[in-house]
Amino acid sequence: MSPPLRGTIKRCGKLFETYPCPGVDDPVNTPDFWEACYHTGEDQWDLGGPTPLFERVVQELEPGRICIIGCGRGWDAVTFAQAGFTVTAIDFAETAVLAARRNALEAGVEISVLKEDLFDLPDELHGQFDYLLEYICFCAVSPSRRFEYDRVAWQLLRPGGMLLGLFFPLDKPLAEGGPPWGVTISELHQLFSLHWHLDREETPADSIEPRRGREVLQYWRKP
């Protein structure tokens, strides 16, 4: 059973401030928390369409099998499917999963949309992907679970596979709480460089305006 939410969620931002660094059992780690955000209109992370930067990135990559974690309404999943990728999209909020399936249908592309918890994925997904796409999932995960995130990413990718991460926000101290929880480039290096190889890093000029200069694009390769 999911732990109870603290009070009535009218503004998820207010609830975010309540949990500076929640543990595994806190509401922020449950589908109920994110469902409340969708139903109260507090889903500001959703751009209402594809991430412009990924429309560039997708043209630079060889199509393959890609897993998109925390896929939300599936806008970026559609972008990669339209470019010839075999796409698996994962979220644990029912609203997001249904919307992603609907958007795929409307776009006329085939996407496998799974309702799963990132930290309890089926074993059959392990080692199945050439790419793992990260955007606005890492910052929604409690910092206490970042090593778990690293493990999950490693398990999903085949040897030689690539974690494509657009990490945000770089300018928010962890002490301010979240989500989104902040992260620095040095913290990302400290986490991933233990066993990944950094192939590419850039501060993208084509980030959306509110996030320009506040996010970093990194390609981490699994040896």
25: phi then psi, degrees, rounded to nearest 5: -90, 5
Tokens at residue 208, please? 């959306």
Q: Tokens representing 1?
A: 């059973």
Q: What confidence tens digit (pLDDT) does each residue in 110-121 have?
A: 999 999 999 999
Give the strand pairing for 216-221 and 157-167: antiparallel
* Residue 72, pLDDT score: 92
Residue 127, domain member (yes or no): yes
Number of structural domains in the chain: 1
The CA distance from 164 to 183, in Å, is 16
Residue 8: the pLDDT is 32
3-state SS of the chain is CCCCCCCCCCCHHHHHHHCCCCCCCCHHHCHHHHHHHHHCCCCCCCCCCCCHHHHHHHHHCCCCEEEEECCCCCHHHHHHHHCCCEEEEEECCHHHHHHHHHHHHHHCCCEEEEECCHHHCCHHHCCCEEEEEEECCHHHCCHHHHHHHHHHHHHHEEEEEEEEEEECCCCCCHHHCCCCCCCCHHHHHHHHCCCCEEEEEECCCCCCHHHCCCCEEEEEECC
Q: 3 in a domain, yes or no?
A: no
Average pLDDT over residues 190-219: 96
Does a structural domain hold residue 6? Answer: no
Confidence class for position 101, pLDDT limits 50, 70, 90: very high
Structural domain of residue 34, as residue ranges? 12-221
Query: Is residue 76, in this structure, part of any structural domain at all?
Result: yes
Evaluate whether residue 2 is within a structural domain: no
More confident: 90 or 21 = 90
The verdict on residue 65 lying in a domain is: yes
Which pLDDT score, from 0 to 100, does residue 109 have? Answer: 98
Q: What is the pLDDT of residue 159?
A: 98
Q: Give me the amino acid identity at 155.
A: Q
Distance (Å, rounded) from C-alpha 161 to C-alpha 170?
25
Half-sphere exposure of 114 (CA within 13 A, CB side): 16
Query: What is the pLDDT confidence band of residue 42, given thresholds at 50, 70 and 90?
Result: low
Mean pLDDT of 192-198: 96
Domain membership of residue 72 (yes or no) is: yes
**Residue-level pLDDT at 52:** 95
β-strand partners of 88:
67, 112
The whole-number pLDDT of residue 13 equals: 42
Q: What is the mean pLDDT of the segment spanning 21-30?
A: 59
For 150-179, what is each residue's pLDDT tens digit?
A: 999 999 999 999 999 999 999 999 999 988
pLDDT at 106 over 80: yes
Q: What is the CATH number of the domain that holds 215?
A: 3.40.50.150
Of the listed ranges 20-34, 82-96, 160-174, 196-210, the least confidently predicted one is: 20-34
Q: Above pLDDT 70, what percent of the chain?
A: 84
With a cut of 70, say whether residue 11 has pLDDT above it: no
Say if residue 24's pLDDT is above 50.
no
Q: Does 1 map to a domain?
A: no
Give the pLDDT confidence score for residue 123 in this predicted structure: 97
Instruction: Express each pLDDT in 122-139 by its tens digit.
Output: 999 999 999 999 999 999
Could you report the per-residue pLDDT of 55-69, keeping only the tens digit for each? 999 999 999 999 999
d(CA 90, CA 70): 6
Buried b (16+ CB within 10 A) or exposed e, 16-44: beebeebeeebbbbbbbbbbbbbeeebbe
